[in-house]
Amino acid sequence: MKHALQLPDAVRDAVNGNWVDNGAPAGWRPWLRLSRLDRPIGTWLLLLPCWWGVGLAMMADRVQWFDLWIFLACGIGAVVMRGAGCTWNDITDRDIDGAVDRTRKRPIPSGQVTIRGAMVWLGVQALIGLAILLTLGGAAIWLGVLSLLPVAIYPFAKRFTWWPQVFLGIAFNWGVMLAYAAHHGALHAAPVIAWLGGIAWTVFYDTIYAHQDLEYDALIGVKSTARLFGDDTHKWLIVFWVIAVALLALAISASGASGASWLVAMTGLAGFAGHLAWQLRRLDLGSADTQLMLFRANRDAGLILAGFLILAGFV
């Protein structure tokens, strides 16, 4: 896969032909890049656990018209809150990003956006996210407020632990609990178990992603599971694949689904598990292009599960 970047200031791992680089006004591009809208995979990976939560809730209870709004609100919220999280990440990582080839063209280290401007942009996105959150009910609101803690901690995790991917997973999969609570008005065991399964999934895909920066991270002292696992990465990924699938299976069973609904949900989980197995077979620790391709492919894995969980809610 070639990175045929159309603009000299485009970030290296931006999606080829993305709308930000090819269609957005020049003055908007630094801000849209700061929110990673030129790389939508992160938005998908934040959104999909939310849709898992909607599906689990629908399996446990009757489908409601409000579920349609939860579904849409999660989509809007994922865009703005992923943007806010990435803006915060880039503010805290500006010196590290400037030392890594893949990230040195990001808006802050490249000088396209000032720290003050980034803070204002962070606030704007957070306020939009808050407006969305306030429509989802008391339990979801409290969970949304609590989610700010792992979001705030994550950018610093790579400085003090070899497991920053776990902190990313805590934050990125929080939506499965929030969306479930928006439907039910309370939190039950199923979404909590699914959240834990999602954390294992995040360790799986983000370890693959982190292998792209292995040499740079070693030079500047940034920790990651990719560095920790090293040549044993395949073995460790199998472990987290098993943990993720087992916990998600337990979550489906804990949701109260039975009969055809349970069977549909488990079929989706089988597809999810099969996709991760395909990734393991394709993984090449010597190819950054393959690593990026496989990381992005996790959108499809998560969509398979989300689609079947939502379908199971109608069965």
Cα separation values, 232 from 11, 208, 227, 229, 275, Å:
30, 12, 10, 5, 21
Q: Residue 284: what pLDDT?
A: 95
Tens-place pLDDT, residues 86-128: 999 889 888 877 777 777 788 888 888 999 999 999 999 999 9
pLDDT > 90? residue 295: yes
Q: Which domains does the chain have, with CATH numbers?
A: 24-314 (1.10.357.140)
> 220: how many CB neighbours lie within 10 A of its CB?
12
Lowest mean pLDDT among 8-17, 101-110, 248-257: 8-17
- Phi then psi dihedrals of residue 63, to 5 deg: -70, 135
Q: pTM for the whole thing? A: 0.90
Please report, rounded to a whole number, the percentage of residues in the chain having pLDDT higher than 90.
69
Enter the tokens of residue 154: 């994550």
- Show the DSSP H helices in the chain as ranges: 19-23, 29-34, 41-60, 66-92, 94-98, 115-133, 138-146, 148-160, 164-172, 175-184, 189-210, 214-220, 225-229, 233-254, 259-282, 288-314
